[in-house]
Each structure stands twice: as C-alpha cells, then as structure tokens.
Structure 1
Amino acid sequence: MVQPITAKDIQQFKADFKAVPQSNVIKNTVMNSGFLASSQNTTSKALMDPVFSIDLDTGAVSNQKQSGRCWMFAALNTMRHSLQAQFKIKDFELSQNYTNFWDKFEKSNYFYENVLKTADQPIGDRKVDFLMTTPQQDGGQWDMLCALIEKYGIVPKSVMPETYNSEKSSELNSVLNLKLRKDAVTLRQLVADGVSEADIQAKKDTMLTEVYRMLVFALGEPPVEFDFEYRDDDHNYHIEKGLTPQTFYQKYVGWDLENYVSLINSPTADKPYNHLYSVEMLGNVVGGREVRHLNLDIDDFKQLAIKQLQAGESVWFGSDVGQSSDRKLGIMDTKIYQKAALLNMDLSISKGERLDYGESLMTHAMVITGVDIVDGQPTKWKVENSWGDKVGTKGYFVMSDSWFDEFVYQIVINKRFLTPEMQRIEKEEYDHPTVLAPWDPMGALASR
C-alpha cells in the first residue's frame, strides 16, 4: 500500500517536535555546532588517558599523507618495530612507495584477469559492475601485503622514497583507472570476437607494459640491487652492499609470513565462528597468497591480541575508524559522542546488524602497541596510527575496550598464539575455505 506524507501528517510531526523537551535549544546547538560537537562527552576524554600497563616502545609514527595506504603502512610498521630494536635504528622506516608500486602493478594484472574471467557476462551483471566500479585503489588487506613481500621483498625508505603521487594518490588512481577501464573494453571485445588466447595474452602484455611505464613516471622505478647505509643509535656506521629486496627482507626482517594468520570478528548469521573464509575476486598478486580469514568470537579475538602484546610484538588490525572517533584528540570510544541522548531516540544497532545493513565495515588499518589491563580485563588499547604526529598523542590514539568490541573487525596474529583447535581449523580448511561474495563486508579494503 502506498502511503504518501500528507499535510495533516506534517502538522502532527511539527507538534511532536515541539513536545520534545528543550527542542529549540537542541536545534540551535546542533545547527551551530553539528551533531558530534553538540553530543561530545567530556568524561570520555578523562577515561581515555594514554597510560597502559603493557606499552611497547615503537618510536615515532609514520605519515601516509593524502593516500589510502594505511594497510601497507600498518603492516610495514609491525615489521620495522622489531627491526628498530634488533639493529638499534630509531624511527627507521621501510619503503611504502616500493610496495605501493608493485601493488598497483599487480592489481592491474589482477583486474585484467578478472575482466577475462567475466568477459562472457553482460555489462550490468553484478560482478562485472563490481569490477568496473573500482578497477584498483590504494586500499588492501594483510594477506595482500604478504603476497607482495613474498614475491618482491622490501627495501628501506631511503632506497625508494615517497613521491608526489605516492603521498597524494588521487591523480595516479584516476589516470590508472581510466586506462584499466579502457583496456577492459578492449579485452571484452577480443573475447567476444573469438580471438585466440595467445593473441589476448599478447595484448594484455602490451597493456601491462604501459601500466609499468605509467607507474615508473609516477612513483619511480623499483630498485633491483642497492647498498644499505646507516648509523645506529650508538652512532656506529654500517654499510652493506649489493642487497636485493629479497635478501634485505630476509636479513633485516626475517619473518616467515606463513606463520601469520588473519582473524576476523564478524558476528553475522552467514559466517559461523571457528571457520575459515575467503572472498571472491579479492587480492592483488595473481598466483600469489590469497586472502584467508578465521572468524572468532570477540573474547578469543582480544585474548590473542593480548598474548601477542605480552610477547613484545605489536598487532596489525583493521577497523571502522570513522565511528565514534575524534581524530584530533586521538580517541576512539563508543561513549565519546552521546547522539542518542542528544536526539532523544534509540540509535542502538548490533555489530552484526551494522555489517549486514551497510552501517559499518573495515575502513582503516593501524597497529595495536599497548593495552591497559585492570583486574585481568582490558580497559583501553594503545594504537599507532599513520596520520603523522599532529593528531592524538604524537600520532598515537587511545581505543576503549568497548570500541574494540564494536568496531574492530580484523587482527593479524602469529599462529603460535592460537589454541590447538584454532590451528587445526586453519590448517584443515586452508585449501577449501568458505568463499564469500566479492561485495561481502569482510572483503572491504582498508583505505583511510
């Protein structure tokens, strides 16, 4: 039944508004200051004091500038933490631009392959539309960074520093996506015309040659071999010549990335806990490491993060940073804004409902570097962001435990901290995870 809004309805709505206590005062406040400032809870500021019972010394924060490479910065930050301590190089950074170059190059090939896989499906098909909406972007997930490192290694930031286009990525993304969409038109037409696979591959190789050229223009050419020169914190001089990105990674980081597993907390009916999931068309390196998520309940999720912190290792995590968050203060707390009280209405919605109804998903990756445990329970968490040192406490944020419950969706944990049962599930289901649709919320890319 169609039910339009009538003039009588509007008169009733006006009467209902006037019946709300202090409606005009609230109206004036919100009109002048907005919903957030009008509902900010000063008690939250006091409770989010940046003092923690477990607090890893990780040094100065990095700055991704105007790019969506948070997942990359966060992952490289977890690796540089141990590197800094072992080799006594305070505030050392790994090259985010190097991994950025190969990510965009590999994402282009990943896009071409998916275009060919869906070439028999019409424009307007949901999968085809999904591909064309964003052929590539800055965002990513942990397993995607692992795939890049396993294939290309990493280098110090001094060897491949940032450029205008890495720090301010919108122009590059716009031009590259234009090219990829044009190439998609060509590839789909070749398939429709029945052109041989060999000729299609030759055309794709030409396209990749052009992508490589574009990326070199924008980001510089990745080094094949380099010298690593530095002074440590004791002012001792070091130089090592003839390194490759792979040998540098093995010597200076040395992590076996197979030992790290992505855990998610997705309390939705379609994803039972204690099972492994992957996402269709989510990835970057064709033939490389694929995205895998082990879904756990939130209590197990948090206890594993605490175990890793207690062992002295920081924790990569993905969350919805825009929810109940004050960027300037560096506070993420479910109580920092009291919008429901301000508006005198019920705005409560569960974590699973937020995911199912599009209210929330992972948008940003950061690093947990500390936690405050009181009477055996976590109360707040220390977070290393990658937005520079002008926000929060010199770039570090404080996350309340209730915010962790509601808006943290993914963490990366060394398998040695998993229970035997979790290890069994991860091992047994690794080759046949439940495959989620490309648009599933757990396929969201961290890109803030």
Structure 2
Amino acid sequence: MNEPHRPAADLLVTGADLAGSGRGDLLVSGSRIRAVGPEATEAAEGMGEGLARLDADGMVALPGLVDLHTHLREPGREDSETIASGSRAAAVGGFTAVHAMANTTPVTDTAEAAERVYDLGRRAGYVDVLPVGAVSKGLAGGELAELGLMARSRARVRLFSDDGKCVHDARLMRRALEYVRAFGGVVSQHAQDPQLAGPSACAHEGELSGRLGLPGWPAVAEESIVARDVMLARHTGSRVHIAHVSTAGSVEVIRWAKAQGIAVTAEVTPHHLMLDCELLSTYDPVYKVNPPLRPSSDVQALRGALADGTIDVVATDHAPHVRADKEHAYADAAFGMLGLEQALSVVSTAMVQTGMMGWADVARVMSIAPAAIAGLPEHGQPLQPGAPATLTLVDPTRPVVVDAAHSQSLSRNNPWHGRPLTGAVHLTMLRGLVTAREGLAWGAQS
C-alpha cells in the first residue's frame, strides 16, 4: 500500500447509494466490477479471506470523476506543480482522469511533447493524465500546431486548447475546427477577446472595479467570442467546447446554440459556482482568476445552467502558483487558484445541499459528460457488472473545513482555505486500485 502500482484487490463495498440510483452492494474483483446488488453479496460469499470489505452505509458511489481542465505545470514550472503532485491532488479530490493543459514550457504542441506528459502521468499512476494539445504553435495564435500527429500519437490527444490565450483569429479557429473534425477531436476555447479585455484587465468591469481602482474586464469580452465560435462550429460541422463559462450572457448564447442543434459543450469551474467579485474588496490575490469572479447574478445564472444541462460539465481549472508569483499587489499577481482537491465538496455545497441537483446529476456533470466529450471509454461508465472498477466514494454529509497547508499540491493558492464545505471524498479507485482514501493519496505519508 505504499505505491500506486500494486495489484488490484477484491473488495466488497456494502450499503452505498449507487450514483444516486438506490442503495446496494458492489463487488470489485481485479480491475472490474464483478457484481452489483444482491448478486454482489452472493458472489462475495465464496471468495474467502482475501476479500476486503468496506462499509459504505450513508455514502454515495459515483463513477470516477473526470476533469477536462487542469494545469499541472510540468514541464517548465515544477516548482508550482508536477504531474505526480497534481495527480495525487486529483486522486484525493475523487478524480480518476485529468486533462493537462498545453501552456507548459515547452508548449504541448507536438506529438513528442504530448507523449512525454502522457508517460509521466502513467509513471505517477494515481490518475489517467491526458495531455491537451495546443491549437497553435507556441500558443502564438499564428499557425496550427501538430493536431493530427498529436491525435495519432500514443497519447491519442482529442482535446485541443490554447488555454490561457484565446484563439482570437477567426480564420485560425475555423481551420482548427475543420481539422479536428476528421478524427473526432474538440477545440476548447478560452473565450476572451484580447481587444476588449486588455493586458492589464484583472477584475469584472463594473462599479466595484472602478471603486477599487482595478482595470476592468467586461462580460462582453467573453460573450462575443462564445457567439463567434458557436457560429463557426455550425459552419464547420465540428465541435467546440467553451472553457470556464463565467457570465449569464455566455449562458444565453450557449442555450440558443444548443436549441439550434449546434455541437457546443461548456464547462463551469467550482469557483465560478460559489465565489463572486465582492471578494475582490479584500485585494487578496488568491481570488485573482481568469476569467474573473463575476457578480452574484452571474453565479446564480451559472448554477441554473448547470442544473438544467445548458452547461455540460464542471471542470476545475486547477492553477497552482508558488508564493513568489501569487503574493503581490492584486493587479500584479498571477491568475489562478487551486481546484482539484475541493471541487467535489464545492459542487456538493453549491448544488446538492441547495437542492438544485442530486447525486446522479453530479455523476453526469463530473464524470459521464466529461468522459464522453473527451472520448474516454474507460471512464464515466455506469457502475454495473463488467465495467471498469473506476469509482469515487463520497460521504455526502461530512463537513469539510479546508486548511491550505494540508494539500497534496505543491502550491498553496487555495481560495477555499477556512471555508466550511459539505461532502467529502472518502475513497478513489482507478481500475481496481485504491489511489486515495480519506484525504491521503495512496502511498502518501500521513
């Protein structure tokens, strides 16, 4: 039990609520689910003393969580995070697959770079790490990266993004959409018009940003790119995914596009579901994020859109930073905050505890839908016989008070520090291997 590459064990999980669909037992044998319900108990009777048992009465069993938007910083900024440390944080947060964004040094814009990230993820072993390929070479927005070669590599890249930078050239975005359509890829857009949200913008544009003296970032900077890209998706017959939606206006554009049958999906971050721009009055740089925190009216619109399916998934945008980059005057600090370890607890608090969603809905937005968008057949599967034993056990009523000092991440820019949440990850399993339990990654020292 001191490292993640141990043989899968036989385990009987008893009394869990199976993804919100009813209470029952679940038998794991090797890397697969062998039986569910009364059949699990019957099959377990003949398995002898080698069978481990876990009393999950009161807990919820979900398919393992999948994150479409993670920054693991390796290669290039291993002082902020490594693929190994980020993988441990993901496992503790209930994730079994994460997509590592391309804005590393060097950029993940070649097949070789994608395979390096993929191999480092396999070596760490806590979660499946899937590299996101850059749309443009060097994220420069001028020339397409090696999209086809990355798709055909061992990493089998299907998600492409210049995240951190908007693909603002409409011609390049059109070409990218046309190119990825051939192999079932999807372009994830960081929707931010660089002319409307200038290089110094760091706060939602409004009365508060004016009063605080912080350069404003208008909602229309996001909404105009979302509108353009859904029209390009319709024109090309390709798929576009809108990263970290943050405004009510973007929600309305996406809702309209889906009604037209346009192939658009969208994500929202945990922090945009719970935090609003009033927190900026403290000038605490932990709350500086891209896109910025918005007013409470936008927060409510995002919650409603996630509940009704307009927004498809929750994605963390986990963005670790060392203190030297984050602890500055607000306008000078780096953008981004941690998200992997508390994402499930935030969604539980904001959406389940408020009655807006049930646990079956959480399975949909944090596992089933993101796995489908990214084309991951081994993830997001119903907990049924023959399926991969890739799952997350959640204690839905357990209170969580976050201490930023106790994190698997190498960084400490955690916006949830000291904030009470409800709903804790009890156990994470990847193909029959327990990768985390009760806040510790498997093999981490207590």
Q: Same fold (TM over 0.5)?
A: no
Greater Rg by CA? 1
TM-score interval for Structure 1 and Structure 2 normalised by the shorter chain: under 0.3
Greater fraction of residues in helix: 1
Return the structure number with greater relative CO, CA threshold 8 A, min gap 6.
1
Give TM-score, length-normalised by structure 2: 0.24
Structure that is richer in strand per residue: 2
TM-score, normalised to structure 1's length? 0.24
